């Protein structure tokens, strides 16, 4: 983890130096400190950076709010009780000063001659900006990641970020994705290969990712812009545009034992081990779903049974040796598990909800069952086990009842599948009210009676940027697209 952060910061610094050093002559060039970074170096750094931001502290907060995990001590215990603070490193280093800065550099240096790279970078930028605005609301976008030009970037309205605002020259996230897809179709001088750690340089798979990202963004605004939701989703389905409809196209970011993922560091590999474990609330849900096999991939079973801990509990946690903690699906055996950022099972649940609520193409139940099967397969269940589960649990795997009943089923199964990407289930909860969660035993924060509807802005940005909303919105204030 530390190695990843160092790379991100070094490349961000190099990019900034490149912009500021152009005014000097060649005699001031130090060959041991290059002022230019090639695209093949920037691309894996941006990809790893966005995955790290997703699975590190930002994802950790969401995992506790969504009651996958229960906090035992430290920041995990605080998050568990709605007390969110100290996200300055994530804002400054992982999102803005690191990943977005490098994405802007990558776009600028490749857009003219090597649009294969700029196309990928625009798709990644749309994902990162969506992650930031979904968590914080209004955030820097059009002026973000350009510190030498905009040291105090404007906070764009979330509605403008999603839908665009021509008066303010704000490009919608949908159009940013479309621009990336358009770049992917152009003739390119340089094209990624092994430096593309996701798809190995196969641009057609990046096209699938871009179209799937459009589906995700469209559903995100469904409460406030349903016409956009229907239009975007129908345009993809009616044109037979390729999207992530199989695991071979999943947008998952690989890690190695030498560079473990953030969830692994939080539980096993670093200085903050032993601060969290399986939530007894999630354990109860999985038992109600008769889904112990998938749970055994998500969390460990240290003895004859899973051992959970209640969210916000004031009582002593079980001893370390008996705790159920993240399992191989989330962390691997030594931190080598991938970070699942946009997958076929997630897309199936998106299409199931869209078909149910908006009548888009396809059968909700078919998509719903495909999502469950794909999630189980991704978790490592055998085909025979999946078949047996479906046969034994027909009321769980078949949509029934009112539209509200069916929506609850879809989101519950999507929630289960999103272990390891809690930011997405946190988005769904604030958008639909599902899954139904009860308050932790102990709560604190801005409003102890309300599960946070947003993350609070950081203190470092408040001190450095007069454009940050002041006073900051409390965590009980919903974001633009939320309930």
**Is 442 contained in some domain?**
no
**Is 219 contained in some domain?**
no
SS3 state of residue 165: strand
Domain boundary among 287, 304, 331: 331
Please give the model's pTM, rounded to 2 decimal places.
0.93
Which residues in the chain come in under a pLDDT of 50?
1-29, 31-32
Q: Which two tokens stand for residue 404?
A: 């509200």
**Is 177 contained in some domain?**
yes
Q: How large is the C-alpha radius of gyration of the chain?
A: 22
Domain boundary among 301, 331, 361: 331
pLDDT, position 5: 42
pLDDT, position 35: 58
The label of the residue with tokens 């109860």 reads 284
**Is 80 contained in some domain?**
yes
Q: How many CB atoms lie within 10 A of CB 207?
A: 21
Is 278 found in the same domain as 149? no
Is 63 found in the same domain as 167? yes
Is 178 found in the same domain as 48? yes
Domain boundary among 177, 197, 217: 197
Is 269 found in the same domain as 159? no
Is 284 found in the same domain as 188? no
Indicate the Cα dihedral angle 397, 400, 404, 408, nearest 10°: -20
**Is 38 contained in some domain?**
yes
Q: How many CA atoms are closer than 13 Å to the CA of 152, on its beta-carbon side?
A: 9
Is 65 found in the same domain as 140? yes
Diameter of the chain measured on Cα atoms? 75
Q: Which two tokens stand for residue 213?
A: 């990202």
Is 46 found in the same domain as 184? yes
Is 182 found in the same domain as 319? no
Residue whose C-alpha is closest to residue 94's, from 53, 125, 58: 53
DSSP classification of residue 156: E
Per the CB < 8 A criterion, the answer to whether 114 and 188 are in contact is yes
**Is 47 contained in some domain?**
yes
Structural domain for 284, as ranges: 262-331
Is 158 found in the same domain as 11? yes
Residue whose C-alpha is closest to residue 385's, from 372, 395, 371, 398: 372
103-125 pLDDT per residue, tens: 999 999 999 999 999 999 999 99
**Is 238 contained in some domain?**
no
* CATH code for position 150: 1.25.40.390
**Is 2 contained in some domain?**
yes
Is 274 found in the same domain as 189? no
* The total number of residues written for the chain in this structure: 483
Count how many domains the chain has.
2
Euclidean distance between CA atoms 100 and 361, whole angstroms: 35
Region of 461 on the Ramachandran plot (φ > 0 left; ψ -120 to 50 alpha; else beta): alpha
Is 189 found in the same domain as 266? no
CA–CA distances in Å: residue 464 to residues 31, 92, 461: 34, 11, 5
Is 152 found in the same domain as 53? yes
């Amino acid at each position: 983890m530390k190695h990843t952060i160092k790379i991100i910061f070094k490349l961000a610094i190099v990019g900034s130096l490149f912009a500021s050093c152009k005014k000097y002559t060649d005699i001031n060039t130090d060959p041991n400190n290059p002022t230019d970074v090639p695209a093949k170096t920037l691309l894996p750094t941006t990809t790893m950076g966005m995955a790290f931001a997703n699975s590190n502290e930002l994802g950790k907060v969401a995992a506790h709010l969504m009651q996958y995990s229960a906090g035992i001590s430290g920041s995990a215990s605080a998050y568990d009780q709605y007390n969110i603070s100290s996200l300055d490193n994530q804002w400054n280093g992982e999102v803005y000063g690191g990943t977005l800065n490098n994405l802007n550099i990558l776009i600028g240096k490749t857009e003219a001659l090597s649009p294969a790279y700029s196309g990928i970078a625009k798709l990644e930028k749309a994902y990162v900006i969506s992650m930031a605005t979904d968590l914080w609301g209004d955030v820097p976008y059009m002026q973000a990641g350009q510190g030498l030009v905009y040291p105090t970037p404007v906070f764009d309205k979330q509605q403008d970020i999603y839908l665009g605002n021509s008066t303010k020259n704000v490009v919608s996230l949908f159009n940013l994705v479309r621009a990336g897809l358009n770049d992917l179709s152009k003739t390119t001088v340089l094209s990624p290969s092994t430096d593309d750690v996701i798809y190995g340089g196969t641009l057609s798979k990046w096209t699938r990712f871009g179209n799937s990202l459009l589906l995700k963004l469209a559903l995100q605004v469904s409460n406030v812009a349903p016409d956009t939701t229907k239009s975007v989703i129908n345009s993809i389905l009616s044109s037979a545009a390729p999207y992530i409809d199989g695991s071979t196209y999943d947008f998952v970011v690989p890690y190695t034992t030498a560079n473990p993922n953030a969830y692994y560091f939080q539980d096993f590999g670093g200085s903050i081990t032993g601060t969290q474990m399986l939530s007894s609330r999630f354990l109860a849900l999985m038992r109600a779903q008769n889904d112990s096999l998938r749970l055994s991939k998500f969390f460990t079973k240290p003895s004859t049974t899973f051992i959970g801990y209640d969210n916000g509990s004031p009582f002593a946690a079980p001893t370390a040796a008996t705790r159920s903690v993240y399992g191989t699906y989330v962390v691997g055996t030594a931190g080598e598990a991938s970070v699942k950022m946009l997958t076929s099972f997630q897309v199936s649940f998106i299409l199931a909800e869209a078909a149910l609520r908006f009548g888009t193409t396809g059968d909700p139940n078919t998509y719903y069952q495909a999502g469950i099967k794909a999630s189980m397969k991704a978790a490592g269940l055998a085909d025979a086990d999946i078949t047996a589960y479906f046969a034994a649990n027909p009321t769980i795997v078949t949509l029934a009842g009112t539209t509200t009943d069916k929506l609850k089923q879809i989101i519950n199964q999507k929630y289960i599948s999103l272990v390891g990407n809690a930011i997405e289930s946190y988005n769904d909860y604030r958008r639909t009210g599902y899954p139904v969660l009860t308050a932790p035993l102990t709560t604190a924060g801005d409003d102890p009676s309300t599960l946070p509807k947003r993350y609070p802005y950081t203190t470092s940005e408040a001190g450095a940027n007069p454009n940050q909303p002041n006073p900051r919105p409390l965590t009980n204030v919903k974001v633009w697209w939320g309930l």
